[in-house]
Structure 1
Amino acid sequence: MADSTNSHAVCIKQWKAAYYVNKDKKWRYGQLGLIPEGVVFTEASTGTSSNTDTTGFSQTILFSSFTDVKKTTSTMIFPVITISTNSDRHWFGSFTDRQSVFNTVAHFWRMRLIPENKSPRAAGGTRTKLGRELLRLAHDSQATMSSAARTLHHQGQQIDSSLATMDDLHNDLDVADKFVSELESWLGNWRASANVPLTQSVLIKHTDLPDIANFEVLYAKAVGTSLSGFVPGSVWISRKEGVTILGTKQDIIQHFGPGGVCLSRVRVLNPWELILTSYRLGESDLSYHLLSTKAVEALRHLEVGRADKIEYMRPSPVYVWVDSTITTGRASLLPRQELSAPSMPASGVVQPNTTAQTQSQLLQKHAPVSDQEVQELSDILSDLKGMAIAVQQEEDKQLEALDTLLMAVDMADARRAELENRVQKLIKN
């Protein structure tokens, strides 16, 4: 619920939606916004007041509290999206394109959008000796957990690649089995020639491998002035081969570069969204929107050899009202004129003149840990908990994949030995 201590948060995407309030047992209609920390539902304003601080019902759900995101139906058989947390389940409906909204929220939840900036706050915050030591230990723990999570993620990609290789190997074994069976049926007792020409081996150097960067994205094709729904996929970026958008089955959706269309312009809307455009004579321009948590990293690869095609747009940012505790320490995301500041007298100097302020400052000065440090420690521990749960889920997934991989390797080895014995019999005959 919205309260009296509200602040702005950058809204990355926004959709018309309805939210079911369990307390009132009714649906409320408004806007569902995606922010760096989670999602925010704000009821549509029906009043005439111009004060934006008096917005109606709002609900903020942080990514750190997410446990699941699903597509389902309500009791009225209407398609909805449910977001489960540790203590509740939230229902959202009345979407124009439910699949696109689901893909976007699920993507940013999995990738955790932007890592929290856990460096010491610089806006005049009070630091204590104990607080600095606790924060140092917490930052070290967070860095270690993040490094372990990245390593585990790369390990999962390697296991997936190994599974795909094993699938290819079993397909090759199927072809080999078919060839051997045909040789057995055709050659019979014929003796094969002992003079078999040897082919020279081909060595593949590291420089022969293509330099390709791969990023998980959501993509949508621009159709006229509107967008098709965002769907999950990936983008491959190579200096020589160009830019390729792939679907979830690694099928090519669109290729910009040699053998495809020319990449004419790259527009950067914000740190999460890019637009790839190809100008075509006599036809409408071909454009694809890419939405990803790794957009900034992808942009670094796009700049290599294409810096003159990149254009940084300056659209009017969209903001939503959220609890001020959510955006603590993230003031860099807000325009300077929106940041709260103490009222200044004509002289430009703030002069506290109340006894309550003086007592509060003295208590804060002599406290073993300041309130700001406690809040920062709480944020770090919350992130650590979320990362620990994600690491556990990834480990379980990888253990299942490893079991499948081991079975596939054993089966392939047995099939290879059987085919080798059959070929040896044919050679001896």
Structure 2
Amino acid sequence: MGDKVFEPGIKAGRLTAEAYADHFSDLHPALDTHEALVASDRCYFCHDAPCITACPTDIDIPLFIRQIATGTPDAAARTILSQNILGGMCARVCPTEQLCEQACVREVAEGKPVLIGQLQRYATDHLQAQDMHPFTRAETTGKSVAVVGAGPAGLSCAHRLAMLGNDVVIYDAQPKPGGLNEYGIAAYKTPDGFAQAEVDWLMQIGGISIQHGKTLGSDLSLDGLKSEHDAVFLGMGLGGVNGLSVPGADKDNVLDAVDFISDLRQAGDLGQIPVGRDVVVIGGGMTAVDAAVQAKLLGALNVTLVYRRGRGAMNASGFEQDLAASKGVRIVTHAMPKAVHGNGAAREIEFDYVDDQMQPTGETLQLAVDQVFKAIGQTLEGADLPVLDAGKIKVDAVGQTSVSGVWAGGDCASGGDDLTVTAVAEGRDAAMDIHAALSKNAG
């Protein structure tokens, strides 16, 4: 960041326009055709491919890579999208290094997997650039389904239901569709408005309408949705944020990381986003890393990410941890917040060092700070919900809840990992079960 003189306090415009453009450019530049052919040639096209098993959406990875290798990327895209309609976004944000690429035979043998994520992006981008939708809608069933939430689970569910001939109304609290894809992911992972472009492309299937500014519990009731529609899918994610229960947590400039990321994603000019000189992020997941890295990229001088357990327990992948370190983020582990100090606004934050059993060791850490971001987990909000399990909507293997005619999936449901790709799979599978139930009732 050069010889920039850093001013204390929180301010916008710490860097030049050129620096912002450089810092927030595409994290993984797209492969060109030659690079894609070379990368695809490394695949062994395993018959019992472990990469498929490792993919939450069960994409036939060897098949789509073979299709790229034979010069048919649009066919490859169809293979991907038939299982994961948000394959373009997942290619950008999915932790492939922990899933398909970790299971790749090349990774096991050589420590260098096939570039599955980048090849998936190459194929899906090639198709989407042609403004082509690879699927056609079936004859209408006359059935109507309400989908609450326009995030990955809701969009995946809505598309599959619409493709099967059902009419779908998506109700979403935000002014734009996309959920976390639009509001909750680092800007350098999805530049150039990709999230909205992908939603627009998905909507080409037809049969889907979206109503914005609608929240379950305040604007909508479950009984009301059931009376207006033949089935309901809940995919609204986690709207609440866990609080920081230490003295001084209510001081000025102790903020939620999700709001910081959302504001940054929606900003027309990154130079208008204020950032501190000394920033501390509390947490160990993807949100924490995204907030920490982006604070550094916005021009913060010192950014420290503090997590209460060891690195191996962090939800953020090893790749993401290394990315943060490469951008100048300091990562401190085995430390728990003890107090935030300052006269009105945060000026210092104090931590207790803890052992593996989370017990204080007697040592403390004091960090100068003018901006604190909390990334310590999110919670389900809303009234009139089905039975919960550990704070999430209890569902079975296909997403059915305790309420007849109501399914759920994504982060709000008690399914698998809180990943975009998992949410897509849960939305798709729930849609298939909803369609089967509606078809049976129609018979």
For the criterion TM > 0.5, the same-fold answer is no
Which structure has the highest strand share of the two?
A: 1
Bigger radius of gyration: 1
